[in-house]
Amino acid sequence: MNGAESLVHALIDAGIEVCFANPGTSEMHFVAALDRTPGIRCVLGLFEGVVTGAADGYARMADRPAITLLHLGPGFANGIANLHNARKACVPVVNIVGEHAQRHIELDAPLTADIQGLAGPVSHWVHTAGSATELDRAGREAVVQARRAPGRIATLILPADTAWDEAAPSPPTEPVATTTAAIGPSPVGADRIDAIAEVLHGDAPAVLILGGAALRPEALERAGRIAATSGATLLCETFKTRMARGAGRVSVEAVPYGVPAALARLAPFAHVVTVGAQAPVAFFAYPDQPGELCPPTAERHCLAAIDEDVAAALQALEARLQASGADPGLQVADPPERCADGALTPATLANVVARLLPENAIVVEEAITLAPALFAATRGSPAHDWLQLRGGAIGDGLPLATGAAIACPGRRVLCLEGDGSAMYTLQALWTQAREGLDVTTLILANRSYAILHHEMDNVQARSGPVAQGMMTLDRPALDWVALAQGMGVPAARADSVAALERHLRAALDTRGPFLIEAVL
Q: Are residues 171 and 245 in the same domain?
A: no
Question: Does residue 331 fall inside a structural domain?
Answer: no
Report the candidate in 515, 478, 485 with the shortest Cα–Cα distance to residue 500: 515
Its sign, for the CA torsion 360, 365, 367, 372, is positive
Question: Does residue 170 fall inside a structural domain?
Answer: yes
Element (H, E) at 292: none
Regions of the chain where pLDDT drops below 50: 173-181
CATH code of residue 250: 3.40.50.1220
Give CA–CA dist 129/350, Å, rounded: 50
Question: Does residue 339 fall inside a structural domain?
Answer: no
Domain count, the chain: 3
Q: Are residues 376 and 502 in the same domain?
A: yes
Going by C-beta distance under 8 Å and a sequence separation of 6 or more, which residues neighbour residue 15? 64, 143, 176
* Strand-pair partners of 245: 384
Angle between helices 310-320 and 217-230 (to 10 degrees): 30
Per-residue HEC secondary structure of 120-155 comes to: HHHCCEEEECCCCCCHHHHHHHHHHHHCCCCCCEEE
What pLDDT, on a 0 to 100 scale, did the predictor assign at position 278?
A: 95
Domain final residue, candidates 149, 183, 217: 183
Q: Are residues 239 and 380 in the same domain?
A: no
Domain final residue, candidates 164, 183, 202: 183
Q: Are residues 194 and 108 in the same domain?
A: no
Q: Are residues 218 and 178 in the same domain?
A: no
CATH code of residue 122: 3.40.50.970
- What's the alpha-carbon Rg for the chain, to the nearest Å? 24
What pLDDT, on a 0 to 100 scale, did the predictor assign at position 167?
A: 85
Give CA–CA dist 70/454, Å, rounded: 36
pTM score > 0.85 for this model? Answer: yes
Domain final residue, candidates 183, 210, 243: 183
What pLDDT, on a 0 to 100 scale, did the predictor assign at position 177?
A: 42
What pLDDT, on a 0 to 100 scale, did the predictor assign at position 176?
A: 44
Instruction: Round to the nearest angstrom and report the end-to-end CA distance of the chain.
Output: 57
Q: Are residues 354 and 475 in the same domain?
A: yes
What pLDDT, on a 0 to 100 scale, did the predictor assign at position 171?
A: 57
Question: Does residue 149 fall inside a structural domain?
Answer: yes
Q: Are residues 316 and 368 in the same domain?
A: no
Strands 253-254 and 233-236: parallel
Q: Are residues 111 and 217 in the same domain?
A: no
Question: Does residue 281 fall inside a structural domain?
Answer: yes
Element (H, E) at 426: none
Question: Does residue 326 fall inside a structural domain?
Answer: no
* Strand-pair partners of 233: 207
| Torsion angles phi and psi, residue 486, rounded to 5 | -65, -20
Q: Are residues 157 and 177 in the same domain?
A: yes
Question: Does residue 11 fall inside a structural domain?
Answer: yes
Q: Are residues 173 and 206 in the same domain?
A: no
What pLDDT, on a 0 to 100 scale, did the predictor assign at position 366?
A: 97
Q: Are residues 47 and 163 in the same domain?
A: yes
Structural domain harbouring 436: 346-519
What pLDDT, on a 0 to 100 scale, did the predictor assign at position 181?
A: 41
CA 45 to chain centre: 18
What pLDDT, on a 0 to 100 scale, did the predictor assign at position 237?
A: 97
Report the candidate in 414, 399, 401, 405 with the shortest Cα–Cα distance to residue 437: 405
Contact between 363 and 416 under an 8 Å Cβ cutoff? The reply is yes
What pLDDT, on a 0 to 100 scale, did the predictor assign at position 298?
A: 97
Give CA–CA dist 195/187, Å, rounded: 16
Give CA–CA dist 430/441, Å, rounded: 13
Give CA–CA dist 495/502, Å, rounded: 11
Question: Does residue 337 fall inside a structural domain?
Answer: no
What pLDDT, on a 0 to 100 scale, did the predictor assign at position 124?
A: 98
Q: Are residues 126 and 240 in the same domain?
A: no
